[in-house]
Structure 1
Amino acid sequence: MGRWAVYRLLRRLTSLSTPSSIPPPFSSIRFSLLCSSSDPNTLLFQRFRPFSSAPSSSYAALAHDYDYGFRDFSQNYVDDNQDFQSHPDGVEEGDVSKIPVKAFFLSTSINLRSMQAENSGNVVPPTSRTSNYVTLRFFDIPSEMIGMNVENNVICNRYMVVFQYGSAVLFNVEDHEVDFFLNIARRHASGLLSEMKKDDYMVKEKATLAEDMQGGADYIVLRHLDTDGIRIIGSVLGQSIALDYYVSQVDDMVEEFADINRAMEKTGTFTMRRKKLFQLVGKANSNLADIILKVGLFDRSEIAWREAKYAEINEYLREEYEVTQRFGNLDIKLKFVEHNIHFLQEVLQNRRSDLLEWCIIILLSIENVISICEIIRDSAAGSV
Structure 2
Amino acid sequence: MELCRIRTFQKSLVLLLHAPSRSFRTLGRLRSPLTGSGLLPPRRPPLLLLRSFASSITPGTGRDLDLGPPPAPLAPPPPDELASDDDAYYHEHILEATQEDKSRLVPVKAYFPCTSINLKSLQSQNSFNVIPPTSRATNYVVLRYYDVKGDPEGFKAGIIDESHCHYMVVFQYGSIVLFNVSDHEADGYLKIVEKHASGLLPEMRKDDYAVVEKPTLETWMQGGLDFIILRDLSIDGIRTIGSVLGQSIALDYYIRQVDGMVDEFTDINRGMEKTGTFTMERKKLFQLVGKANSNLADVILKLGLFERSDIAWKNANYAQIWEYLRDEYELTQRFGNLDFKLKFVEMGLA
Measured against the shorter chain, the TM-score band is 0.7 to 0.9
Say if 1:111 and 1:88 are closer, same or farther in 2 by CA, change over 3 A.
closer
Structure 2 distance, partners of 1:194, 1:321, is 24
Unmatched tracts of structure 1, length 5 or more? 1-67, 343-384
State the match for 1:293 in structure 2. Answer: 301
Q: Which runs of 4+ in 1 moved over 4 A?
A: 86-92, 147-150
Residues 77/97 of structure 1: CA separation in 2 closer, same or farther (3 Å cut): farther
> Does the aligned pair in 1 maintain the 2:71–2:164 contact within 8 Å?
no
Residue 110 in structure 1 maps to residue 117 in structure 2: yes
CA contact (8 A) 1:89 1:216 kept: no
Structure 2 residue 272 is matched with structure 1 residue 264: yes
Structure 1 CA distance for aligned equivalents of residues 191 and 95 of structure 2: 38
Match of 1:180 among 176, 188, 196: 188
1:150 to 1:99, Cα distance in 2 relative to 1, 3 A: farther
What percentage of aligned pairs have identical amino acids? 63
| Alpha-carbon distance change, 69 to 182 in structure 1, aligned in 2, over 3 angstroms | closer
CA distance in 2: counterparts of 1:117 and 1:88, whole angstroms = 38
Cα shift readout 1:294-330 (whole Å, capped 9, x = no counterpart): 0000011111111111000000000000001111111
Change (3 A) 1:108 1:304: same
Give the greater-gyration-radius structure (CA).
Answer: 1
Q: What does residue 162 of structure 1 align with?
A: 170
Change (3 A) 1:326 1:69: closer
Alpha-carbon contact 1:213-1:221 (below 8 Å) kept: yes
Which one-letter code corresponds to 1:76 in the other structure? L
Cα deviation, 1:179-227, whole Å, max 9, x if unaligned, reads 1111111110110001012111011111101011100110000111011
1:277–1:69 Cα change, 3 Å: closer
Aligned length: 271
SS in 2 for 1:162: strand
Instruction: Specify the code of the residue in structure 2 equivalent to 1:286.
Output: S
The superposition leaves residues 153-177 of structure 1 with CA deviations (integer Å, 9 ceiling, x where unpaired) of: 5422111100000000011111111
Q: Which has the higher contact order (CA 8 A, sep 6+)?
A: 2
Change (3 A) 1:147 1:303: farther
Residues 150, 156 of structure 1: 8 Å contact kept? no
Residue-by-residue CA offset, 1:1-56 (whole Å, 9 max, x unaligned): xxxxxxxxxxxxxxxxxxxxxxxxxxxxxxxxxxxxxxxxxxxxxxxxxxxxxxxx
CA distance in 1, matches of 2:71, 2:277: 66
Tell me, yes or no, if structure 1 residue 93 matches structure 2 residue 79.
no
Q: Secondary structure at the match of 1:76?
A: coil
Q: Is the 8 A contact 1:154 1:225 kept in 2?
A: no
The answer on whether the counterparts of 1:112 and 1:188 sit within 8 Å (CA) in structure 2 is yes
Root-mean-square deviation (Å): 2.7
TM-score, normalised to structure 1, is 0.66
Give ranges in structure 2 of 5+ residues lacking alignment: 1-66, 77-88
The two structures have a TM-score, normalised by structure 2, of 0.72
Whole-angstrom CA distance in 1 between matches of 2:94 and 2:109: 25
Mean CA deviation greater in 170-179 or 231-240: 170-179
